[in-house]
Amino acid sequence: MTRKRVAILGATGSIGTQTLDVIDRHRDRFEVFGLLAGSRPLDREARYTIRAADPDAEARVLEMVTHPDCDLVVTALPGARALAPTLAALRAGKVVGLATKEVLVMAGELVMAEAHHRLRPIDSEHSAIWQCLWGEQLDSVARLVLTASGGPFLDRALKDLGTVTPAEALRHPRWSMGPKVTIDSATLMNKGLELIEAHHLFGVPLDRIEVVVHPQSTVHSLVEFSDGSLKAQLGRPDMRLPIAVALAYPDRLPGVVEPLAAAELGTLQFLPLDQERFPAPGLARQAAAAGAPYPAVLNAANEEAVAAFLRGEIPLPGIVQVVESALSAYKGSGSTLEEVMEADRWARDYFHIAAGKVST
C-alpha cells in the first residue's frame, strides 16, 4: 500500500499532536509530509517544517499544501488564518481533513464550491453525522441533530456567569481541547459555529438542523431520516477517533480508542437548549440566515472577544454581547474572498471600539 503523505497545519496544537499520534501508530499507511507549527516545541522534522513566525511562512505553507507529493492536508490552525491554505489545498485537488470550523463559517459557499467530496470533517459532531450518512441518500435526510455537552456552566446560576474566570471556563467537563474552542464551548458559540459548519458541509437547510444538550458527550450527533429512523454515532470523547476517520476513509483503523461497552453507557440525557442561558446558537442562526459575509462578522467578533476574555478584559457574557452588537452594526454585503476578509477586518476593528463598553 502506498503511504498517504500528510501535511498538518497547526502541528503543535491539540488536534495537530493527536494527528501525529494517529500517524505514528499507523506508519504503514501514513507519513508526515509537512508541518506548520506555532511557537511550542516540535520534536520532529519533515520535508516542510515551517514555523508560523518565519518571514516566508505564508508562501511556504501554500507551496506545501499544493505540492504534487502531498496527498492530504489536516487543517487545525485556530481561526481565520486557516482559510487561505485550506482553499489552496482544495483547489490543488488535495483531500482536506478540516478541524478549523471557522473556515466554513467564514466562507462556506467558497470552500464547498472547491470541495468536490474531498473535504472531511474533524469535528466530533460532524464526523458523527458524516458516518451516519455513509451509504445513505441526502434527499432522505429529514433533520440533523447536533449534540452539545453544555460546557462547564450548564447548571451555574445565570446571575453568576459574569464572574466566571478564564481558568474556570477552560476546565471543560468532557473534552480536552485548545483554549479557543473550550471557551466557545462554555458560551455555546461553538455550537453556533457548528450549526453553520453542518449547513455547509451537508447542504441541509438551517431550519432542519437542531441542537440538543447531551451532558455525557457519548452520542456525538444524530441524523433523522424521512422514514422516521434515527441514526447516531457513539464513542468515547476522544478526538483521535474523528481524526482517524478523516485520515483513513473509507477504511477504519484498528484500535484507535478503547471501545465503549454498552453496559458502560449508563444513563444518557438529552435536554432542550435553554436559549436564555445560551443565546449564541440563535445568534449564529441569524447571521447565517442573513447570508455572507455576516457569519464572517460573527466569527471575527467572537475570536477577538474570546481573546479579550482570556486576557481578563471582558466578562464571559460580554463575548456574546459584543458579537451581537457587531452583527447589528454591520452594514456590508458580499461573498467573495476579498469581501469576506474585509468583513473579518471590519469586525475586529469594531470589537476594539465596542469592547470598552462591555468591560465595566
Residues that bind Mg ion (CB under 5 A): 123-125
* Intra-chain end-to-end CA distance of the chain, in Å: 60
Residue keyed to cell 462591555: 358
Closer Cβ to Mg ion, 18 or 124, answer by number: 124
Q: How far is the CB of 151 from Mg ion (least distance, A)?
A: 12
**What crossing angle do the helices spanning 337-358 and 102-115 adopt, rounded to 10°?**
170
Q: How far is the CB of 194 from Mg ion (least distance, A)?
A: 6
Closer Cβ to Mg ion, 94 or 172, answer by number: 172
Q: How far is the CB of 126 from Mg ion (least distance, A)?
A: 7
Closer Cβ to Mg ion, 125 or 224, answer by number: 125
Burial of 156 (0-12, 13-18, 19+ CB in 10 A): middle
Closer Cβ to Mg ion, 26 or 285, answer by number: 285
Q: What is the CA radius of gyration of the chain?
A: 20
CA angle 77, 81, 83 (to 5 degrees): 95
* 349 vs 261: CA distance, rounded Å: 50
CB 311 within 8 A of CB 300: no
Q: How far is the CB of 197 from Mg ion (least distance, A)?
A: 9
CB 281 within 8 A of CB 273: yes
Closer Cβ to Mg ion, 50 or 146, answer by number: 146
